[in-house]
Amino acid sequence: MNPLRALSLTRRVQLALLVGALVAGMVLPHVVSSFILRLVTLALVSALFAMSVDLMAGYAGLVTIGQAGILGTAMYGVGYVASKTDGGIALQITVGFVAGMTAAVIFGLMAMRSSGVYFILITIAQGMIIWGLASLLVNITGAENGLPGIRRPVNIESGFRYYYATLVVVLICSLALFVVVRSPFGHALKGLRGSETRVRMLGHNSAFLKFYMFLVSGFFATVAGILLVYLNEFVNPTDVILGASALPVLMAILGGIGTLIGPFIGAFVIVFLRNWVSLRVDRWQTLMGLTFILVVLFAREGLVGAVSAWWHKRIDGRDGGVSSVLHEPEKREAVLSESG
């Protein structure tokens, strides 16, 4: 008996697409130019970064616009050791990891008691302050000149090998995230999105839950930062500007927020769109802003939601698809245990 037959048609198509994407990912470096391969590598790293944002924005319903602060701190950690000391790769990665996670801990402690708009404003301020420090602490960050002299590990130095290394890391992280969002912790996060009061009634401490969310999401942002700094072999304050924090949010919404595949698709679309536009006109920021506005106004469920709705209508005749996580109206909740 073929085990595939036990699956629904939808599942089988999804499985086929996944296998197809994996095979494409494996053979890609042999087919495309090194320039395109670099873009694909960047898209993979961006996808991981966007997934870390989506864990907060899409699953817990807490939109962060400061995640580049964590990514960037990890990048600066690696860059500082590589550029200012004679530490080896192991030390570089360790310092980068510790730096990124420290930022995640501090961000988490600051934001864990807030929600809604306040959460957004706090994360913006956090990201911007990392940018301010990056631009002002000349001795550590090199300010606008950034930190040069970062080199990839010798055995994965070529763009070809670095692509495969990135692919493996991103796949492992995606798998880990897949497990996380299906774990009790992931369900508790989704509970936060629905009703924070209810999560508290069920015995969770919602502040701690948000703190852990920062740790988990920060872990993946840190890994993305380490991958990115070796991909670019450079870091400067443009890696931590507000736009760098807003971009993964845009990727997640464009692809389909509250799904793991959405950020992936969004990342590829944005990275290639940005490259295509930047080669022609110097107005990428305008286009990014317009995309933001249009996606928020019209493409609420993202690309994944649109495709999924079309598919279900055709195959099952039901009005399925992903409901928009972002556009759920804010619920007015009775405050149960807030005291001054």
User: Which parts of this chain interact with other proteins (CB under 8 A)?
Assistant: 61, 63, 65, 106, 109-111, 113-118, 120-122, 124-125, 128-129, 132-133, 136-138, 241-243, 246, 249, 253, 283-286, 288-293, 296-297, 300, 326-330, 335, 338, 340
- Tell me how far, at minimum, the Cβ of 152 lies from other proteins, in Å: 30
Nearer CB in complex with other proteins: 115/166: 115
Strand partners, 235: 147
Q: How far is the CB of 296 from other proteins (least distance, A)?
A: 5
* 150 three-state secondary structure: coil
**Shortest gap between Cβ of 244 and other proteins (angstroms)?**
11
- Nearer Cβ to other proteins (86/338): 338
Closest to other proteins by CB, 222 or 245: 245
Cα distance between residue 25 and residue 41, in whole Å = 10
Nearer to other proteins, 65 or 231 (CB): 65
Nearest distance from residue 302's CB to other proteins, in Å?
A: 13
Amino acid identity for residue 288 in this structure = M
Distance of CA 321 to the CA centre of its chain: 22
Nearer Cβ to other proteins (223/267): 267
Torsion of CA 160, 166, 171, 176, to 10 degrees: 170
CB atoms closer than 10 angstroms to residue 313 = 13
Least distance from C-beta 41 to other proteins, angstroms? 25
Task: Tell me the DSSP string of 236-297.
Answer: -GGGGSHHHHHHHHHHHHHH-TTSSHHHHHHHHHHHHHHHHHHHH-S-HHHHHHHHHHHHHH
Using alpha carbons, select from 283, 286, 251, 224 the residue that is nearest to residue 68. Answer: 224
- Closer CB to other proteins, 91 or 133, in the complex: 133
CB of 241 to other proteins, least distance (A): 7
